[in-house]
Amino acid sequence: MAARTVLILGGTRDAREVAGLLVQKGVDVVTSLAGVTAAPEHPAGRLRLGGFGGAGGLAAYLAAAQVALVIDATHPFAAQIARNAHEACRAAGVPLLRLERPAWQPAEGDRWIAAASAEEAAGILPEGARVLLTIGRKEVAPFFARAGLSGIARMIEEPPVAVPPGWSLVRARPPFSLQQEIDLLSAQAISHLVSKNAGGRLGREKIAAAKALQLPVVMIARPARPDVPLSGSVEALVEAVARLLSP
Ligand code: NAP
């Protein structure tokens, strides 16, 4: 593949895999991270950190860095950067591809309760529920605000709000094995798991653990994202990139 600059909007394991494969093929890759995680895992290629300053800032960056193609490989719940990428690429005339694994689907034996948002999920939980909250750091406030809930909030960095009595913070970075997840749910007497529907092969262990223990899972649906060409796997995305970059 030609050595033209590809910008990967990252922050996911998939984004790191894409960066590794494209660098192997001789592509000049810059991965962009929001800069939220203190010690992020470094992908292959170049790295830039921090927000761009909205869609306008991103469009200016695309021009200045002579970016030939943008890959949005951010998490399915990172809706703002996805909107910004769509708007900036349209304004700058730069093609945009998105990597998005299919959402998880409930199977026989799963006890899922659908929620449209974190706020709705917090409201759905029954009084007295003991929760394993695995939704990251940004949206924990509605759970912490409900006096009748307690449990474990697991995330990589500190949350932006104080952790109330009854809740414990577990600072940990995935992956977690099925056995680790079963042990945590059992040891903490968890009654409900709360998860975002991230999709993909990683992160499903907690769902499988809840199923094994017959626990209900409050599953938060993905937010709406802009309509851009999607690849459902790292391999499919790398093929799409090769087609776009070939002379
Ligand atoms: P968000 O709400 O969509 O974005 C908020 C702002 O953060 C954006 O407007 C942008 O700032 C900046 N930003 C986000 N991703 C960026 C990137 N890759 N490079 C440069 N700036 C970025 O995103 P979020 O939900 O806070 O997620 C932040 C990062 O964490 C994302 O990269 C995402 O892939 C990763 N992540 C998120 C989740 C989740 O559940 N939300 C889970 C795992 C990983 P400017 O407007 O200033 O450009």
Pairing state of beta strands 230-231 and 67-72? unpaired
Contact 85, 57 (CB under 8 A): no
For residue 237, the CA-to-ligand 1 centroid distance in Å is 20
Residue nearest to atom 34 of ligand 1 (CA): 74
Ligand 1 within 6 A of 136 CB? yes
- If you average pLDDT over residues 140-165, what whole number do you get? 97
- If you average pLDDT over residues 166-187, what whole number do you get? 97
Considering the chain, what is the average pLDDT of its residues? 96
**What pLDDT shows up at residue 3?**
53
For residue 186, the CA-to-ligand 1 centroid distance in Å is 33
Ligand 1 within 6 A of 238 CB? no
CB-neighbour burial class of residue 102 (10 A; exposed 0-12, middle 13-18, buried 19+): exposed
% pLDDT > 90, the chain: 94
Ligand 1 within 6 A of 11 CB? yes
Distance CA 212, CA 238 (A): 36
Residue 2: pLDDT above 80? no
- If you average pLDDT over residues 129-151, what whole number do you get? 97
- If you average pLDDT over residues 179-199, what whole number do you get? 98
For residue 61, the CA-to-ligand 1 centroid distance in Å is 16
% pLDDT > 70, the chain: 99
Residue 92: pLDDT above 60? yes
Q: Which of 23, 90, 26, 98 is nearest to 59 (CA)?
A: 90
Residue nearest to atom 42 of ligand 1 (CA): 75
Q: Which of 120, 182, 184 is nearest to 153 (CA)?
A: 184
Q: Which residue type is seen at 230?
A: L
Q: How far is CA 39 from the centre of its chain?
A: 17
DSSP 190: -
Ligand 1 within 6 A of 76 CB? no
Distance CA 174, CA 182 (A): 15
Residue nearest to atom 8 of ligand 1 (CA): 81
For residue 191, the CA-to-ligand 1 centroid distance in Å is 31
Tell me the per-residue pLDDT of 191-223, one tens digit each, with 9 for 90 and over. Answer: 999 999 999 888 899 999 999 999 999 999 999
Tell me the per-residue pLDDT of 97-123, one tens digit each, with 9 for 90 and over. Answer: 999 999 999 999 999 999 999 999 999
**What pLDDT shows up at residue 87?**
98
Rounded to two decimals, the pTM is: 0.95
Ligand 1 within 6 A of 31 CB? no
- If you average pLDDT over residues 174-188, what whole number do you get? 97
